[in-house]
Each structure stands twice: as C-alpha cells, then as structure tokens.
Amino acid sequence: MDQYQILGEVVYGRRLTEEEAIYLINEGDLLAIGSAANNIRSRDYPDTVTFIIDRNINYTNICTSKCKFCAFYRDKADPDAYLLSKEEIFMKIEETLALEGTQIMLQGGLNPDLTIDYFEDLFKSIKGRYPIVIHSLGAPEVAYIAEISKIEVDEALTRLHKAGLDSLPGAGAEILVDHYRSAVSPNKVSAKRWLEVMERAHRLGIESTATMMMGGPDTVEDRVEHMSKIRSLQDKTGGFRAFIAWTYQPGYTELGGKTMSSRQYLKTLAVSRLFLDNFDHIQGSWVTQGKDIGQLSLSFGADDLGSIMIEENVVRATGVAYAMSKEEIVGLIQSTGKHAARRNTVYEVIERFD
C-alpha cells in the first residue's frame, strides 16, 4: 500500500477501507495522517472549535457489571456505595446552571434497585424544575433498566424520552468486539446489543454520540472493527452526532496495564476522522490526555473539545484528574489560531469568543 496515495484519495472523498485504516495506524506516518485529517477538519470547520459546559452527575456507584477496567463501581454492601437523593441531584443541577451549564449527563451503573419508574420520576422532576438538557444513560444502562423492569427496550426508550430524556451518550461502548468484551466486561451487553439499543433510539428520534475506549487489551484490528460497526450504523440511521475516543486509564483497576501513548492516541484519532466520513464531529479528549495533547488533537482531526467537566468521577477514580475552567479552554483553543465557541448538546453555537 502507498499511504500517500491512500491519504490523497480519502481527502478528496474516497471512503477509507478497514484494511487501509489498520495499515495507517500500524505503519503510517503520524504527521502525514494528522495532516490529512486536519485537511478534512479544516474544510468542514475552517476556524472554529467548540466546547460545552455540562456536568457528569454519577447518581450511583452501585453496579452489577463490575468491569475490570473500572475503578468507580461498588457492590451494594460496600461502605462507600451510594445513591444520590433527588435533593443532591437538584443541588448539582442548580450549580451547573449557575456556571452556564446547559446539559447534565446522569451516568451511574447497573443498579438492581432502580427500575424504569425511578428514572421516569427523576427525569420528570428535573424537567419540571430546570431548563436543562438530559443527555444521559448509556446503552447498557437502558438495556438493563428494560430487563429489570420486564419491558422491551423500545418501551423503555419511549417512556424515558417522554419523561425528559433528550439524548444518549455513547457510554458503555468501550470496544464493540465481543472477544474483548468477554475478557474485560463479561457482565455488560454484547456489541450487537449495544448497537441494537442505539439503532432503536435513533429510530425513535433519540440521537446519541458514539465513544471508544482504547488502550486496554484491544488491538488495532479491534479498534477498526469498532469504528466500522458504528460507521455502518450511522449509514443506516444518521443518529450519531459525534465520535469521542478516549484512552483507558489503568490506575486502581483490576485490569491494570499501561497507559496508551499520546502518539498512538493521536494517530488513531486522526484515522477516525478519515474513516468516519459520515460523522460530523470528532472530539479531542483532554480529560484523559491532558491539556497539551487535547490542544494538539485540534491539528489531528478534532473539531470539538467536549466539556469543561464541572464534575467527573469515573476517570478521577483511576487517579487521573485534569480540570479546566471556561477561560482556560477558550485560551487553549485561541492559542492555536482558531476561534473558540460554546455549543449546546446538538452542536449549535450559543456563544462566540473572538
């Protein structure tokens, strides 16, 4: 294969094949791939990089999934197991609104005590009080809520949407390859089930994002298979708003291992921009890579830096705790020569910083 021929053709619109994506990640030149990804990003988003102000509210840490890569979950009997009260969640939402936040991500675990009635009541209570977007519950949570409530996923999604759920984050995707999932998260939904939940949500008008956690025991082939599956679903539904790749953090986890290099992260990120030609937005992950690499991701295909993260507990549980204010993220973007803009959940610009 000739990487320069491949990159030249892809920049002009030819779809990248799985075989070529694997070749580029394994043997391609980092800067050449980054340049091609940046050309596509610059064509679609010539001078603007977006971010959002939101809050991850981890409403519970009780989870029956017990993924080996997670340092956050607890058993129900553990002394530090918790379920936030409505009042605690309301207080966090009020703090979020005071800091100009427009979205909350309610994410916890597979808590066997929380059936769909709990979420319907919670979402209705939030929507009745606050003008905020509920971008919450990953596909595994939705599948689990349906299972323990003894209803179909379609009914669960319809009822949750009616109660106030606006959209789904890509949580729980990790790597959508079953031999990987069986090894690190055997109690979580299969790759096929994750994609089924997302497809049903999209068919019901509930859009979502797609994520990928890389740098654990996954291979390059696994990562490309993951991207191929979400590209195929996007061809069918068009329901994914963005792709968000982040790197596994081994601290305090059962799985252990090493942190993925920033070079591998940037190369995979750039290939994702080339491969996912039907995705509008690619997000850089400063939350797991730090501010400097997050800034560099803007030259490797990313057009969005996600959230300033008023609160985040899952990555923090591994010992990684980056934080950034609104002023810092604006300065980070502006120092690349681009314009910073605050967006909402559907990627509409609501504030510009020129």
pLDDT, tens digit, for every residue of 254-265?
888 888 999 999
pLDDT band of residue 90 (cuts 50, 70, 90) is very high
Q: Residue 245 has which token pair?
A: 């790749």
d(CA 67, CA 50): 32
d(CA 38, CA 41): 5
Amino acid sitting at position 57: I
pLDDT of res. 313:
63
Taking a C-beta distance cutoff of 8 angstroms, is the pair 165, 136 a contact?
yes
- Does the model's pTM come out above 0.85? yes
Q: Which of 286, 288, 287 is nearest to 216 (CA)?
A: 288
Phi, psi at 344, each rounded to 5°: -105, -170
Give the lowest-confidence range in 29-38, 43-52, 222-231.
43-52
Residue 199: partners with Cβ closer than 8 Å, 6 or more residues away: 233, 236, 237, 239
d(CA 238, CA 231): 9
Taking a C-beta distance cutoff of 8 angstroms, is the pair 37, 271 a contact?
yes
